[in-house]
Amino acid sequence: MALPDEFLYQLKSANTIDSVIGSYVNLLRSGHDFVGLCPFHSEKTPSFHIYTDTQSFYCFGCGAGGDVITFIKRIENLDYIEAVKLLAQRAGLEVPESGHDSKLSELKKRILEINRATANYYYKMLVSGEDKRGLKYFASRKLKPETIKKYGLGYAPGTWDGLKKHLSALGYNEDEMIAAGVRSVGRSGSSVYDTFRERVIFPIIDLRGNVIAFGGRIIEGDGPKYLNTSDTPVFKKSRNLFSLNFAKNSPVKKLILAEGYMDVIAINQAGFENVVATLGTALTPEQARLMKQYADDVIISYDSDGAGQKATARAINLLSEAGINTRIIKMDGAKDPDEYIKKFGAQRFKMLLDNSGGAINFELEKCRQGLDTETEMGKVEFLKRCVSVLAGIKNQLERDVYISKISKEEDININVLRSQVNSEIRRSINTEKKKQWRAIKAKPFFTDKLVPESSSCLREVKAEEGILAYLFRNPDKTEYVKNHIEPDCFITEFYRRIYNIFCEKTSVSDDFSLSLFSDLLSDEEMGKISGIYAKNKDIIITIQNLNDYIKILNDYKEASAISSKNELSDDDLLNIVKKAREK
């Protein structure tokens, strides 16, 4: 059963799209509307538009779009009802109870309950269980009792079904435990066992305080050092960050990015609340964009070994693409932040943070690795590497500062160095253009999954989009359109469905909102119809244009019928000819 229209109207009125999106994205006013950097893909030039008149959004870069509910679904990784509940809570509204909970929503609710019960079980096993190895491990890492409690750390004993027995007693079944990821199915498919055994446990908590997953570190024996919950209906490791639930409360828009759970906890215990880490994977574009919502600056505090430096270079690129200023800590005398703080203390670590260098200096310093710059060949190779780094600096003023710096340090003519950098920039631009052209040639001309008919009937598809754009702007003309064109005249399955939904929804009201579709369409489909509105926003569609669009579809239908005349009866064929003569 759909939610009452009156409730949805109240919900949207209390959660205007610019105020909701503005709490996630920095918006700039553009007339009556707003623009900003899209939170769903990396970009440096704003292509994300918010339309206040229709309370909708659309990104011309990636095609994301919809209403305020669609936005919350995507940004918070929620289903429809969960997004409605979040917005209702934000506005102090009560969601009607009439049968709206879907099976997926109910499963997510059960998984979150299981995760909370599991976290409590692991915590009890840590502090009062018979196996004290977990407690001894945390003590050896100098964690205070209050820190263990703050993060809800735990220990998974070595039994294969200890957790299962605990959760079964609470009323949860095996399928729900497997869906939550706390129980795993063996390779043969015949055995099921507790996922975490003989590991210290790090609960992963989202921004609303829900336990959504777990990380487990082995403390002795064989097996991977870290084991993390696989993706579940409530958890996507590429979209979450460990300890962001604490870091988001930091008064400064600055984050410290550490490499692992223990580094984060050690830094937090030392008094730095604004620290986060990825979840067993390298930094992803989604995580970089998530960090952008809470910070303008990120200080990378990865391990000082080769793997840590490689991860740092990758993180620099992703954070830069997300529009974040990046600095890097240079640690001497310790392999990671946890060890550094233990050896030198929190105050020295603060000095590291304060004196952290910019990403460009980090990249330029890397250019020296493996080279003897005292030799002519070594110096030439170093400068070649520097030219590549300098050419990657987008801002011309910033680029010139570093060109001057390298010129002075290496005693090389600044004009020669600048000329080499400019030449590299031109070469990179030409290479990128060729790469884009090859990608275009390699793809089919049309790759629209929702409207595959675009590849063969572009004129008719454009006519359907024109009719829908007209109706979105003039819902009071729905009866006129219905009298002139039947749904089966739409040649695309997707737009025919949109037309039918629109006609049904507006039969009781002339008010139009994209929210008419939000509980019936996927996020991708919402983006598609939002694009129809956005792309036609400044185009005047007259009644004559509308009639032309209708004629195109009606003509196509008649032409299709004539072309298949061999399959028609004589009466059907006579009717077609009669209609054509009347026209």
Task: For residue 153, give the CATH number of its domain.
Answer: 3.90.980.10
Dihedral in degrees, nearest 10, Cα atoms 264, 270, 274, 279: 0
Strand partners, 65: 58
Lowest mean pLDDT among 191-195, 338-342, 366-370, 543-547: 366-370
Averaged pLDDT of the chain: 88
What is the reported pLDDT for 320?
83
For residues 127 and 226, state if they share a domain. Answer: yes
One-letter identity of residue 380: V
Domain limit, last residue, from 345, 364, 383:
364
| Token pair recorded at residue 134 | 């977990």
Strands 211-218 and 226-228, bridge-based pairing: antiparallel
| Token pair recorded at residue 34 | 């707003």
Domain limit, last residue, from 305, 340, 364:
364
**Residue 155 forms part of a structural domain:** yes
**Residue 97 forms part of a structural domain:** no
For residues 107 and 224, state if they share a domain. Answer: yes
**Residue 282 forms part of a structural domain:** yes
Model confidence, pTM = 0.74
Do residues 514 and 56 touch, judged by C-beta distance below 8 A? yes
Residue identified by tokens 């943070």 is: 353
Element (H, E) at 213: strand 211-218
Q: How many domains does the chain have?
A: 5
For residues 107 and 221, state if they share a domain. Answer: yes
394 pLDDT exceeds 80?
no
Torsion angles phi and psi, residue 78, rounded to 5: -120, 165
Do residues 338 and 301 touch, judged by C-beta distance below 8 A? no
Integer Cα distance of 540 and 569 in angstroms = 43
Tell me the CATH number at 500: 1.10.860
For residues 466 and 575, state if they share a domain. Answer: yes
Integer Cα distance of 37 and 56 in angstroms = 16
Do residues 517 and 501 touch, judged by C-beta distance below 8 A? yes
* Most confidently modeled range among 100-114, 288-302, 511-525: 288-302
Integer Cα distance of 46 and 56 in angstroms = 16
For residues 128 and 49, state if they share a domain. Answer: no
Tell me the CATH number at 38: 3.90.580.10
Q: What is the mean pLDDT of residues 65-84?
A: 89
440 pLDDT exceeds 80?
no
Q: What are the C-alpha distances in Å from 389 to residues 196, 295, 313, 385, 403?
A: 44, 25, 12, 7, 10
Do residues 55 and 16 touch, judged by C-beta distance below 8 A? yes
| Token pair recorded at residue 248 | 């988001």
Strands 297-301 and 325-328, bridge-based pairing: parallel
Residue with the bigger pLDDT between 395 and 234: it is 234
What is the reported pLDDT for 98?
55
| Token pair recorded at residue 568 | 């028609």
Domain limit, last residue, from 307, 341, 364:
364
570 pLDDT exceeds 70?
no
For residues 360 and 379, state if they share a domain. Answer: no
What is the reported pLDDT for 513?
77
One-letter identity of residue 498: I
For residues 187 and 149, state if they share a domain. Answer: yes
One-letter identity of residue 95: V
Within 8 A by CB and 6+ apart from 196, the residues are 122, 156, 163, 182, 214, 216, 227
Within 8 A by CB and 6+ apart from 85, the residues are 95
Instruction: Please return the burial class of 10, using the count of CB atoms within 10 Å of its CB with bins 0-12, 13-18 and 19+.
Output: middle
| Closest to 359 (Cα-Cα) out of 404, 425, 401, 300 | 300
For residues 313 and 396, state if they share a domain. Answer: no
Lowest mean pLDDT among 194-203, 216-225, 384-393, 515-524: 515-524
| Closest to 477 (Cα-Cα) out of 545, 527, 430 | 545
For residues 40 and 139, state if they share a domain. Answer: no
**Residue 160 forms part of a structural domain:** yes
The one-character DSSP state at 184 is: E
Torsion angles phi and psi, residue 197, rounded to 5: -145, 135
Integer Cα distance of 301 and 254 in angstroms = 13
Strand partners, 29: 34
| Token pair recorded at residue 222 | 């064989």
Total H helices, total E strands in the chain: 25, 16
| Token pair recorded at residue 202 | 């790090």
Integer Cα distance of 210 and 119 in angstroms = 11
The one-character DSSP state at 242 is: B
> Tens digit of pLDDT for each residue in 108-131?
899 999 999 999 999 999 999 999
> Tens digit of pLDDT for each residue in 13-24?
899 999 999 988
208 pLDDT exceeds 90?
no
Q: Which range of residues forms the domain containing residue 267?
A: 244-364
What is the reported pLDDT for 428?
86
| Closest to 532 (Cα-Cα) out of 476, 482, 464, 430 | 464
467 pLDDT exceeds 60?
yes
Integer Cα distance of 301 and 282 in angstroms = 14
For residues 124 and 226, state if they share a domain. Answer: yes
| Token pair recorded at residue 443 | 């793809």
| Token pair recorded at residue 537 | 């926003």
Integer Cα distance of 433 and 274 in angstroms = 40
| Closest to 359 (Cα-Cα) out of 391, 383, 336, 325 | 325
Do residues 527 and 549 touch, judged by C-beta distance below 8 A? no
For residues 117 and 226, state if they share a domain. Answer: yes
| Token pair recorded at residue 288 | 């970089």
For residues 279 and 182, state if they share a domain. Answer: no
Do residues 59 and 41 touch, judged by C-beta distance below 8 A? yes
Within 8 A by CB and 6+ apart from 46, the residues are 28, 35, 36, 37, 38
Integer Cα distance of 187 and 246 in angstroms = 38
Work out the angle at residue 420's Cα, subtended by the Cα atoms of residues 416 and 425, and round it to the nearest 5 degrees: 145
Residue with the bigger pLDDT between 396 and 564: it is 396
412 pLDDT exceeds 80?
yes
What is the reported pLDDT for 205?
96
Do residues 487 and 499 touch, judged by C-beta distance below 8 A? yes
**Residue 447 forms part of a structural domain:** no
**Residue 351 forms part of a structural domain:** yes
**Residue 532 forms part of a structural domain:** yes
> Tens digit of pLDDT for each residue in 169-190?
999 999 999 999 999 998 888 8
Q: What is the mean pLDDT of residues 150-176?
A: 96
Helix ranges restricted to H, 270-344: 285-292, 306-321, 337-344
Q: What is the DSSP string of 525-539?
A: HHHHHHHHHHHTTTS
**Residue 96 forms part of a structural domain:** no
| Token pair recorded at residue 33 | 């509307």
Integer Cα distance of 273 and 267 in angstroms = 8
Integer Cα distance of 244 and 238 in angstroms = 14
